Chains A and B, each alone.
Chain A
Amino acid sequence: MVDSSLSRPRSVDVRSSTLVGVLIGIAIMAAVDEIVFHQLLAWHHFYDRSTPTVALLSDGLLHAAELIILVGGFFWFADLRRRRALSNRLAWGGFLLGAGGFQVFDGVVDHKVLRLHQIRYGVHLLPYDVLWIASGAVLLLAGAGVVRWARSRRPDSGPR
């Protein structure tokens, strides 16, 4: 983990490091959403009667993309590491950006615009929606902060 700075320094791939973090962040947040809210809490429904067919299509596409992004992201991450082109700080920043971005997108577009499904049924929705979108925005801002901070310092792949 620290050996990269001791051996001859390879150039850190700033763009790839950030982007791979974003991809993994999106996929992890999507998986958390799927597992926690669909499976464990059963707040969301597998299928919502009011879902139009077009939304079903976009839902299926997103769902399939999430898994591919998760697997591909991890192999890309491993490849960057192997080539010592990974900046851990940038990857973490990207991770927060991706996770927050997905949360906001899910809260605004999936829940409100496309009306694929709601967060919970039979309750007053506003506090749930506000909490959902606000938590995503906080993650998004934190990610932007970490990326800015990591880019302002000399990019190296120190731990974390």
Chain B
Amino acid sequence: MTVAGPLAHAGHGAAGPSWFPLFPVALLAVGYVLAAVRDPRGWDHRRTASWLVGCALLAVAVGPLAQLPDNPSGHMAQHLLLGMLAPLGLVLAAPVTLLLRIAPPPVRRAVGRLLRARPLHLLAHPFTATLLTTGGLALVLLTPLYAAAERQPVLHHAVHLHYLAAGYLFAWSLAGPDPAPRRPGLAVRVGALLAASAGHAVLAKYLYAKAETLPPGLTDRDPDAFRSAAQLMYYGGDLAELLLAAALFAAWYHSRRPRPRPSPPPPPSPSPSPPPLIKKFASPEGGSLTQTS
């Protein structure tokens, strides 16, 4: 069950790749495709592709398909895939919009109520999401949580689930095409992206600098392995930041497109205009970078 790599720890039960985590991923992929096919107005294929890419990245991260090495770099790659790259693909696929399109009215009303709930607005605020992603990562890497998760499979899976959920929340709060009532303006979201990225970069360099003692509580440690993991974290974080910034500003650019006639959407943007139910929640997209005109 465990990979007999040169760095495999004794009693490192959680890292053994099994086929089990692939089932929920496959369920997500199949469920989305079935829903997209049922959409009466025709679902944008690019969204479906984005969802499937996200699912594929999840599968790589958790499954035995592409076996990630059982060392700090392998764990870091898992973190990058689960917490940063896969969530962006999933978020850009607008699964809630799809659900609202195909679900019966009672479900739609329930989703609408949920989206109007105050606690959700608080949770989905970009800075709350920043705290959950980057703060959660700091908690794992700077406390004995990392060492504990190496020993206990349940904790290991819980940490991975947290990476995914927090990453999804973060990407949605910044750049999600799904309805997001009371979403703050562009400046706040860019500020949150800056804070999260800077925190991630500082954390990576700090780990690099303190590889002899961090993460704490490990019985056998290989500082060089943690240094290369820290570098992977730094540059992988850059990639995720780049993609997220592109998604964020592309949404802003799209929202500012000139509309000559109000009725039909222009042909170069075939992404479907949101149905009326969603329009009610749609955030005032963006604001502007400057007030000059």
Contact = CB atoms under 8 A, between A and B. Distances in A.
Contacts of A13: 292-293
A71 B197 contact: no
B256 interface: yes
Contacts of A79: 253, 256
A15 B292 contact: yes
Given A60-B205, A63-B201, A78 B253 contact: yes
B197 A67 contact: yes
A1 B242 CA distance: 28
B5 to A, nearest CB: 25
Interface in B48-99: none
A67 B198 contact: no
Interface string A74-85: 111011001101
Interface in A1-56: 13, 15-16, 19, 46-47, 51, 53, 56
Interface stretch (B103-111, B160-168, B244-252): B244-252
A75 B194 contact: no
A22 B37 CA distance: 47
A145 interface: no
Given A13-B292, A46-B231, A78-B253, A68 B241 contact: yes
Contacts of B250: 75
A113 B250 CA distance: 37
A75 B290 contact: no
A16 B288 CA distance: 12
B188 to A, nearest CB: 13
B258 A60 contact: no
B253 A64 contact: no
A67 B208 contact: no
Contacts of A83: 258
Given A64-B201, A67-B238, A68-B245, A56 B252 contact: no
Nearest to A16: B292
Contact of B205 (A56, A65, A78, A85): A56
Contacts, number: 79
Given A64-B194, A72-B245, A72-B249, A59 B292 contact: no
A71 B245 contact: yes
A57 B209 CA distance: 13
Contacts of A126: none
B206 interface: yes
B253 A75 contact: yes
A13 B238 CA distance: 32
Contacts of A60: 198-199, 201-202, 205
A67 B250 CA distance: 15
A123 interface: no
B281 to A, nearest CB: 25
Contacts of B209: 47, 51, 56
Nearest to B208: A47
B202 A57 contact: yes
Contacts of A16: 290, 292
B245 A19 contact: no
Contact of B194 (A19, A53, A59, A68): A68
Contacts of A82: 257-258
B289 A76 contact: yes
Interface in B262-293: 289-290, 292-293
A64 B198 contact: yes
7 contacts: A13-B293, A60-B205, A61-B198, A63-B201, A64-B200, A83-B258, A85-B293
Given A46-B234, A56-B202, A72-B289, 14 more contacts: A46-B231, A47-B209, A59-B202, A61-B198, A63-B197, A67-B241, A68-B190, A68-B245, A71-B249, A75-B252, A76-B289, A78-B253, A79-B253, A82-B257
Interface of B: 190, 193-194, 197-202, 205-206, 208-209, 231, 234, 238, 241-242, 245-246, 249-250, 252-253, 256-258, 289-290, 292-293
**5 nearest A-B pairs in the assembled complex, by CB-CB distance:** A64-B197, A60-B202, A60-B201, A75-B249, A64-B198
